Structure 1
């Protein structure tokens, strides 16, 4: 940012699209492998996307992915809109740190390192490791239906914290980020952001969240999003103020993280509705930023579908995973790694004979041989 000031307009100039020329080069290289066009399905598209993002043909294998989880409590959870009790994000964080959460179990299976970033967990900071809490802005974000979730100063601190985490990951050599959340009440904040930016009613974006809720809780959640929307709509053109009004510290940090990842040319796989809502806010800041992101999954969350449609991102998987914590995005990671490996290692073949495959011969030679035989 210029002169140390936070000016979101700067991202328009800082973020460039992945190199389209290299994407075409990757497509040309793929056409010389001898495999029929379309034989690898979406893996071809992913390989070309990676070539442009890495600025490398052939593609480099993805060898250092990282699961980054932003954590926080939301005051709106006190309205019983979540399957988790209000103020219990610390349990989710401890489960992740102990290696027991679904996302971390899957990350361990895939050989992916995990980083947890506490932005607004409602517990004393000394109950969690210092490397987890060092970016914390506050204990729990405010109740979005009746008050701002952050002050203007807290929103800037959270946004800058997300940027700092993105820089740290890029400097550490992370070549692909799997982004997820550990939040209680986060899907209510996400639904409010999506509804505000897509111009829809609360009922259109209200889902049942990763923890699952019954019909009465769904009605309470819908009412909270409706009330949050009344507060969000007047400020929706000012993205940082919008995040301060209804987003909370963890979603604000994730938005800064996504934008700075695009600046640093670090590809990101989005997980569920919370990450998609942050991506939608980030798109409003810099329209080229979504070119650096993949949608890891689609599920039944209506706000997720609406956000991905608005960004023209097609989910890589559709297993219906709603648990959060990066699980859906992690399930898509092997597809991305497979695309990278194929793009990197499939050999090019010279000429039509090679393209026809092993054992193929020239038809004219076959005809001559048949005549000689007679």
Structure 2
């Protein structure tokens, strides 16, 4: 059967359900995408996981965030103790939560809930240097891929990604600006809660960073190395591996979407598997989604990160798969179809 024939079969199954054509709106598009990814008319979501990558950023010391950089480590401890928003939502929806120390400036005690693949104790400030070395960036992608391979072996076929890293909206904004050739002013938002004056300072700092690195190219690996965080680069590698493993990839907000942008520029086929869970309230995210031609499931004015958008959207994926598998067809229910 050709790819086109299979797509027709999926759509026919959706359209045959006891409802007007298109009446379930975006749930129909989600059902179609998951069936297409899994290459079956009876898709299922098994052992969902959300992986939260954490890393400290050198740029956070330059005055771009309302919170001090030590909050990154403090929030990782909060994740490990089960007290953060992502813990609540993951428990609520039966999602396995994995916390990864990609490069936090802190030494954590051994914890069975924490995967320690620390690349370093935070990145360099990209205001005056590359955030990381090429070897560190490559190592991040490899470690991210390895984590996903191990999760796949548990039977997981749907995986979401979150992050924690004070300063990472700055990294994301600069990477977006560089890769999409969009003015930095259109990419920069208030992050963790800057006021208008602080936002102007953040914009000035990031503009100076772009000027300092004006000669650097726009190759996605080079851009990640120059401006990224360890958690972002590791997430990029994880997303690429999830696509290779043909898993459904849940994309969270602004930071995760920028990591996805990097992955997309390395392998554009990742868009087939990517489901964008929500539109963040962070300024650049709407524009980024438009550039990726991506339609998010939710718009709840969220801007927390941590993978919270993935967790909140996940029940809608279950509903999409559920109606495709369980809803009666006009024929099976002996319901008359539209006549005109």
Stretches of structure 1 lacking an aligned partner (at least 5 in a row): 1-18, 363-374
| Alignment partner of 1:137 is 2:138 | no
TM-score normalised by length of structure 1: 0.85
The alpha-carbon distance between structure 1 residues 20 and 254, as it changes in their structure 2 partners (threshold 3 A), is farther
Q: What is the CA distance between 1:253 and its match in structure 2? A: 0.7
Instruction: Report the equivalent of 1:356.
Output: 336
- Between 186-195 and 131-140, the greater mean CA deviation after superposition: 131-140
Deviation at 1:224, TM superposition (A): 2.6
Q: Secondary structure at the match of 2:334?
A: helix
Moved more, 230-239 or 212-221: 230-239
- 1:50-129 paired onto structure 2 within 5 Å: 50-60=34-44, 62-124=45-107, 126-129=108-111
Question: Residue 333 of structure 1: CA displacement?
Answer: 1.0
- In structure 2, relative to structure 1, the CA distance for the partners of 1:87 and 1:129 (3 Å cut) is same
How far is the alpha carbon of 1:334 from its aligned partner? 1.1
Q: Which residue, 161, 180, 183 being the options, matches 1:198?
A: 180
Q: What secondary structure does 2:124 align onto?
A: coil
Counterpart for residue 156 of structure 1: 138
How many residue pairs match? The answer is 337
What is the CA–CA distance in structure 2 between the aligned matches of 1:23 and 1:231, rounded to whole Å? 48
* Residue 297 (structure 1) aligned with residue 281 (structure 2): no
Contact 1:142 1:148 in 2 (8 A): yes
SS of corresponding position for 1:314: coil
| 1:147 is the counterpart of 2:121 | no
The residue that corresponds to 2:220 in the other structure is: 239
8 Å contact from structure 1 (residues 71, 121) kept in 2: yes
Matched residues in 2 for 1:33 and 1:297: separation? 27
Q: Does 1:22 align with 2:6?
A: yes
| More helix per residue | 1
Q: Give structure 1 regions of 4+ aligned residues with deviation exceeding 4 angstroms.
A: none
* Larger CA Rg, structure 1 vs 2: 1
Q: How does 1:335-374 map to 2 (within 5 A)?
A: 335-350=316-331, 354-356=334-336
Question: How far did residue 87 of structure 1 move?
Answer: 3.0
Which residue in 2 is equivalent to 1:310? 291
TM-aligned CA deviation for residue 279 of structure 1:
0.8
Q: Aligned to 2:51, what secondary structure does the other structure show?
A: strand
Assess if the C-alpha contact under 8 Å between 1:103 and 1:330 holds in 2: yes
Matched, 1:215 2:199: no
CA deviation map 1:31-85 (0-9, x unaligned): 222321011111111111110111111222x231111101011011112222321
Partners of 2:215 and 2:241 in 1: CA distance: 26
Give the TM-score normalised by structure 2. 0.93
Residue 281 of structure 1: CA displacement?
Answer: 1.1
Q: 1:184–1:242: structure 2 CA closer, same or farther, 3 Å change rule?
A: same
Match of 1:261 in 2: 242
**Contact 1:143–1:149 at 8 Å: present in 2 too?**
yes
Counterpart CA distance in 1 for 2:55 and 2:76 is 9
Contact 2:51 2:159 in 1 (8 A): yes
Aligned position for 1:36: 20
3-state SS of 1:258 partner: helix
CA displacement 1:170-193 (0-9 Å, x = unmatched): 222112112111111111100010
User: Quick check: 214-223 or 136-145, which moved more?
Assistant: 214-223
Q: Aligned with 2:160: secondary structure?
A: strand
Mapped contact 1:120–1:138 kept (Cα < 8 A): yes
Equivalents in 1 of 2:202, 2:335: separation in Å? 58
> Which structure 2 residue ranges, 5 or more long, are not aligned?
none
* Inter-partner Cα distance in structure 2 for 1:121 and 1:161: 15
The equivalent residue for 1:370 is none
Q: Using the alignment, how far apart are the partners of 1:154 and 1:230 within structure 2?
A: 23
